[in-house]
C-alpha cells in the first residue's frame, strides 16, 4: 500500500509517494538521479519516495492525489531497481472509496461514543474500523475510505488505534467527503447499493 500525490505548483513537477506515516524529524534521504528515497533514521527502512521531473518519466499526471497506472508503477519500479533501493511499489487493491457493509457493530469498552465495526469492503475483504458517529449501526451500507486514501481535505487514512482498538479505514460522513451534510453522523447509503463497488465523489 502506498499514497501518491503529484505537485506541479509549489514543488514543481514532483511526485511524492508515502508507504507509511512518518515524522519529518526522523527522516533521512538518499538520492539517485531524479529519485530520492526517504528513510527512517532509526530503522533505515524506506518510508517514501520523491520523484523530481516526474513528467519526464511518467505519463498522465494531474495535480493532487493520483492513482498510478500499471505502466507508471512499472516505470517507477525500474527506476527504483536501477537506483538499488530495496522497496518497490505494488498496485492498489481496487478503488479508495467503496460501498461498505457493516456486518457487526459493538461499543468500544471504556468509551462513551466509540463503536468498533467489522465492515465488508471490496473483494469480500472484511476490515475492523473504529467509528465515533452516533448513528452507526449493524446492517448499514456506508462509504468506507480504505487505508491509503487521501481525503478531500488532505488527510491521509493510515492504520491506527483508538482506545487500544485497531482501525483500518474510515466510515465517512458527507462532510468528510466534501458533500452537503443533511444530518449529523456518517452517510448511510441505500440498502440496494452493491457492497464493494466504487463510491465516486
What tens digit of pLDDT does each residue of 106-140 get? 999 989 899 999 999 988 899 999 999 999 999 99
- Number of Cβ atoms within 10 Å of the Cβ of 42: 8
State what percent of residues in the chain have pLDDT above 70: 100
Residue-number span of the structural domain to which 121 is assigned: 97-189
Give the residue from 178, 99, 175, 94 showing the smallest Cα distance to 143. Answer: 99
> What is the model's pLDDT at position 201?
74
166 and 105 in one domain?
yes
Backbone angles phi, psi at 57, to 5 degrees: -105, -35
> Which helix (H) or strand (E) element contains residue 116?
strand 115-120
Is position 73 within any domain?
yes
> How high is the pLDDT of residue 183?
78
Half-sphere exposure of 201 (CA within 13 A, CB side): 18
pLDDT digits (tens, 9 = 90+) for 140-199: 999 999 998 999 888 999 999 988 999 999 999 999 999 988 878 999 999 999 999 999
Last residue of a domain, one of 29, 54, 82: 82
Domain boundary (82, 111, 129) is at 82
Residues 57 and 114 in one domain: no
Q: What is the pLDDT of residues 62-88, one digit of tens each?
A: 888 888 989 999 999 999 999 999 999
CATH at residue 108: 2.40.50.140
Classify residue 159: in a domain, yes or no. Answer: yes
Give every CB contact of residue 142 below 8 A, 6+ residues apart in sequence. Answer: 99, 100, 101, 102, 119, 136, 171, 172, 186, 187, 188, 189
Task: Identify the domain boundary among 82, 112, 145.
Answer: 82
Write down the pLDDT at residue 6: 92
Band the pLDDT of 21: cuts 50, 70, 90. Answer: confident
> Do 114 and 174 share a domain, yes or no?
yes
Looking at the structure, tell me whether residues 71 and 148 fall in a common domain. Answer: no
Specify whether 117 is located in the same domain as 165. yes
Which grid cell is 128? 475492523
Q: Does one domain contain both 117 and 49? A: no
Residues 182, 36 contacting (CB under 8 angstroms): no
Looking at the structure, do residues 58 and 114 belong to the same domain, yes or no? Answer: no
- Indicate if 77 and 102 belong to the same structural domain: no
Query: Strand, coil or helix: what is 126?
Result: strand
Please check whether residue 200 lies inside any domain of the structure: no
- Same domain as 70, residue 9: yes
Per-residue pLDDT of 22-66, as tens digits, reads 776 778 999 999 999 999 988 889 999 999 999 999 999 988 888
CATH code of the domain covering residue 27: 3.30.1940
| Residue closest to 168 by CA, chosen among 112, 119, 133 | 119
Please answer whether residues 57 and 194 qualify as being in contact, where contact means their C-beta atoms are separated by less than 8 angstroms.
no
Q: In this model, does residue 93 exceed pLDDT 80? A: no
Domain count, the chain: 2
CB-based contact 56:79 (threshold 8 Å): no
Amino acid at each position: 500500500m502506498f499514497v501518491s500525490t503529484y505537485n506541479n505548483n509549489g514543488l514543481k513537477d514532483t511526485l511524492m509517494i508515502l508507504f507509511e506515516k512518518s515524522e519529518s524529524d526522523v527522516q533521512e534521504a538518499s538520492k539517485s538521479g531524479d529519485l530520492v528515497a526517504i528513510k527512517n533514521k532509526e530503522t533505515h527502512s524506506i518510508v517514501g519516495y520523491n520523484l523530481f521531473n516526474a513528467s519526464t518519466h511518467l505519463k498522465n499526471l494531474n495535480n493532487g492525489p493520483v492513482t498510478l497506472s500499471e505502466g507508471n508503477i512499472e516505470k517507477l519500479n525500474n527506476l527504483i531497481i536501477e537506483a538499488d533501493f530495496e522497496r518497490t511499489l505494488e498496485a492498489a487493491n481496487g478503488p479508495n472509496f467503496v460501498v461498505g457493509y457493516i456486518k457487526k457493530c459493538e461499543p468500544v469498552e471504556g468509551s462513551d461514543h466509540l463503536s468498533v465495526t467489522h465492515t465488508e469492503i471490496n473483494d469480500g475483504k472484511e476490515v475492523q474500523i473504529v467509528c465515533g458517529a452516533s448513528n452507526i449501526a449493524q446492517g448499514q451500507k456506508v462509504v468506507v475510505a480504505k487505508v491509503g486514501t487521501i481525503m478531500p481535505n488532505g488527510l491521509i487514512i493510515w492504520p491506527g488505534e483508538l482506545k487500544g482498538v485497531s482501525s483500518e479505514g474510515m466510515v465517512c460522513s458527507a462532510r468528510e467527503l466534501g458533500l452537503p451534510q443533511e444530518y449529523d453522523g456518517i452517510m448511510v447509503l441505500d440498502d440496494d447499493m452493491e457492497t464493494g463497488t466504487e463510491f465516486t465523489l
